[in-house]
Structure 1
C-alpha cells in the first residue's frame, strides 16, 4: 500500500515546487514592469462668459492628466441660480465663474465655498484692491479675481465732430444731452434720427449704481444720490427722449448697426465692437460721464472654489494658478478685453509702446476704481432695481420709493 502511494506524492511535490518557482519568477517580473498610469483627474468648471476655449486648451497642454469639463450658461443669473441648486443637491462643480454684481456673500453662507487662502496655498498675487474687495466678505476672500471691466460711453465720432466742429465734450451728463440734442435736430440738414439717441446695456443696476456710487457716504446722502440717478434715468427716457425704453437687450447691436449715436456698456465689449464695426464708421469711447458718483464701480469676474475630494481640489488649485499667471492675464486682456486683475501685469501693459490709445485710456481710469464690499441681499437688491428702472421707463410718473433698498 505504501509503495503504491509514493508516485502520487512525488507528482504533488513537483506541482508545488513548480508553483513556487513560477510565483517567485512572476513576482520579480512584475516588480520590473512599469506601473500602470494613474487614472486622469477630473475638473468640472461652470462659466457664463466667452473666451474660455483658449484658456482650457492651454491648461490641457500643461496638465494632460486632468480632464476638464466646461459647462457654459447663457447668463450669470442662470449660472448663479443653478449653482445654488447644485450645492443643495450635493452636485456642485469644483470651480464656478462668479461676478461681483451679486452672489459671493450668499455662496459663502452655504458653507460649500472655500476661502481663497485654502486654494492659493503657494501665495496670492497682488491684485487690484478694488477687484479683491469685490469678493471679500467677513474678513475672508471667497473668490479669485481674474479680470474686470469699467462702465464706459461709446459714441460715433463723425456726426458729432461735424456738427460741433470739434470732438464732443462728454465728461458730464449735461454735455451728453446737449451733444445728442444737437444731432437729433440739426439746423438745416438731414441726419439719421438714430444718431441722436443712446442705448444702455442690460446690466442696468450696475450702471445706475455707477452713476451714484459714493462709498464714503451712508444713510440720507447716499439715498439722495440714488434718487438723483433715478431722476436722470427718467429724464433721458421721457423728457429728453434720448433713450428708448426697454431696448437694453439689443443695446450693443443697435449701436453697431447705426441705430444709436451713443452706447453705455462695459469696457470689455471693446474687442467685439471693434470686430463688428470694422471700418463701417469711426467711434471712440469716454469715461462714464459724471453725475453723482465719486469713483468708478468695476465689474469683476472671479472663480470660486467649491469643496471637493483632495484629487479634484488639487486640480482646481492648478487651474487657479494657471488663470492668474501673467501670461494668462495678458491673454484675457488681448482676446476678450478683460482688465487684468494682477497689478504687475497692468504695470507692464502701461509700458507697452504699441498699446492703442483706447486701451491706454481705460488703464488710466483704474486709480479711480471703488472697492465695493458684497452684501447679504445683493441679489434681491439687483432684482428690485431692475424692476424699478423698468417701471420708470414704462411710466413717466412712476414714484421713486425705498431707494435705500436698491442696489
Structure 2
C-alpha cells in the first residue's frame, strides 16, 4: 500500500462508504446507503424564520451537563423565541452515533445540533447527514477566524465548514506531586519515556501505590493514546494510507510498553477509567484527556501535576494527538430548524461560553479571544493543555479513517498489554487486518 493521499483529500472523497459489518463491530453508525453529492448545494437562509424549538444532543463530554444547561439558560434569555431542549443522547460518542443513525433511518426525531467526535463526524458527512455551516456562518456573522485554527480546520472539506469545535482535547500526563516529591523526583512530567523508566522504580518503592504508571483503558483509548508512544519511537499506526504498525520502530515502542508491565513490573492497565484510578491513588501517574482535568482536581486528595506527553528515543516533541468533538447540524431537518440550530451553535461557541465550558471541564478553549484569565487564576493547569496544543500532531489515518480500525487497534493493544502476546506477530496480524479494511472499504472509493 503506497498510495499517498493526505487527510484533507480523504475528507473530500465524498463517495467513501464502509461496510455495515465493520461499523457494527465498533459501535458506530452504518455508512451504507446513498453518499453525499461531491459538491454540496449552496444553502440559503434568507427570509427564513428560526424554528421555535430544537433539541441539542450531547453526551456531556467532560461531565459538562451542568455547564451546558447554564449556557442554554443564557441562550433562552437572549433568544426567548427559540427553546433548546438538552437531550442526553448517549453515554459516549458511539451511543450518540447509533441514535443519530437510527433517527436518520426513521427520518424523524432528529436534533437541531448534535455532538460528533473526531472519529465519527466524517461518516455523517459521507452519508449526507449533516450540512455545511458556511451559509449560517455568513448570515449569522460567526467569527470563524477567531477559532483556534488547528481545531476548526479539522472539520473542513473543499473550503466548506462541516462542524464547529466544541469539546476538544489532547491527552495530558497526570502525576501525583506528593509521590514524585517523596521519590526525590523533579516536579514535572518526564521529557521521555526512557526518563520515566528510570524514575518508575523509585516511585513504586516510595509511594505505596500499586503502579508507578497505568495505561488508559484500552477499549476507548488505545488507538488514541498509544500514538504518543509510537511517534516517540519513530513509529506510527500508519503513514497516510500505508499501514506501518509492524515497522521496527512501532514494534520497539510497543515492546517497551509491554516490558513496563511484565518485565519491569511498574505499570498496569486501567480496567475502566485511568483518571479515576489516578485520583484514587492506585497509580502515581497516567495519561488521560484534558477533559478529565477538572474532575481529577476535584476528586484527588493529593497535589496534582500535569505536563506534556513524554517523547521517546526518536522524537521528544510533536508526539501528542488532538481529539474530542465538534457540533454539527443535521441535513434532515427543516431550514427553520437549521437556522435555529445555527443561532444556538453560534451562541454555544462564543468566546465567553467557550471559556465557561473550558473552566467547567478542562477542555480546550476553542476561541482565540476567549478570556481565560479568571479560569487560569483558579485552574492554572489548563494553561498546560493550551500550550501543548502548539505541538500536537494530526492523528494517523489508520485510527480515524479506516472504519472499524479503532476497535482492531484496541484488540491488538489488549493482546500485547494484558495477555503478553508476541508484539511482532500481533502487529503483523493487525497490519493484514487494517490493509484488508483499506482494500475493501476505502481504496475502491478513492478513484
Q: How has the CA–CA distance of structure 1 residues 379 and 48 changed in structure 2, closer, same or farther, with 3 Å as cutoff? A: farther
Matched, 1:116 2:133: yes
Matched, 1:153 2:173: yes
What residue is the counterpart of 2:427 in the other structure?
400
What residue is the counterpart of 1:25 in the other structure?
none
What residue is the counterpart of 2:275 in the other structure?
252
Distance 1:286 1:310 in 2: 45
**1:15-94 superposed matches below 5 A:** 41-49=52-60, 50-51=63-64, 52-72=68-88, 73-91=90-108, 92-94=110-112
Distance 2:121 2:268 in 1: 33
Number of matched pairs? 360
Q: How has the CA–CA distance of structure 1 residues 138 and 125 changed in structure 2, closer, same or farther, with 3 Å as cutoff? A: closer
- The worse-fitting range, judged by mean Cα deviation, of 233-242 and 264-273 is 233-242
The answer to whether the 8 Å contact 1:158/1:282 transfers is yes
Q: How has the CA–CA distance of structure 1 residues 157 and 221 changed in structure 2, closer, same or farther, with 3 Å as cutoff? A: same
Matched, 1:275 2:298: yes
User: SS in structure 2 opposite 1:152?
Assistant: strand
How far does residue 344 in structure 1 lie from its aligned partner after superposition? 2.6
Matched, 1:391 2:415: yes
Q: How has the CA–CA distance of structure 1 residues 200 and 118 changed in structure 2, closer, same or farther, with 3 Å as cutoff? A: same
What residue is the counterpart of 1:4 in the other structure?
none
Matched, 1:266 2:277: no
Matched, 1:344 2:360: no
Matched, 1:177 2:177: no
The answer to whether the 8 Å contact 1:349/1:355 transfers is no
What residue is the counterpart of 2:163 in the other structure?
143
User: SS in structure 1 opposite 2:262?
Assistant: helix
What residue is the counterpart of 2:330 in the other structure?
306
The answer to whether the 8 Å contact 2:152/2:164 transfers is yes
What residue is the counterpart of 2:4 in the other structure?
none
The answer to whether the 8 Å contact 2:245/2:427 transfers is no
RMSD between aligned residues: 3.0
Distance 2:85 2:376 in 1: 39
Distance 2:396 2:152 in 1: 9
How far does residue 339 in structure 1 lie from its aligned partner after superposition? 0.9
The answer to whether the 8 Å contact 1:131/1:300 transfers is no
What residue is the counterpart of 1:204 in the other structure?
222
The answer to whether the 8 Å contact 2:51/2:337 transfers is no
TM-score by length of 2: 0.72
What residue is the counterpart of 1:367 in the other structure?
390
How far does residue 327 in structure 1 lie from its aligned partner after superposition? 1.0
Matched, 1:234 2:258: yes
The answer to whether the 8 Å contact 1:105/1:374 transfers is no
Distance 2:264 2:158 in 1: 44
- The worse-fitting range, judged by mean Cα deviation, of 350-359 and 63-72 is 350-359
Distance 1:223 1:139 in 2: 35
TM-score by length of 1: 0.79
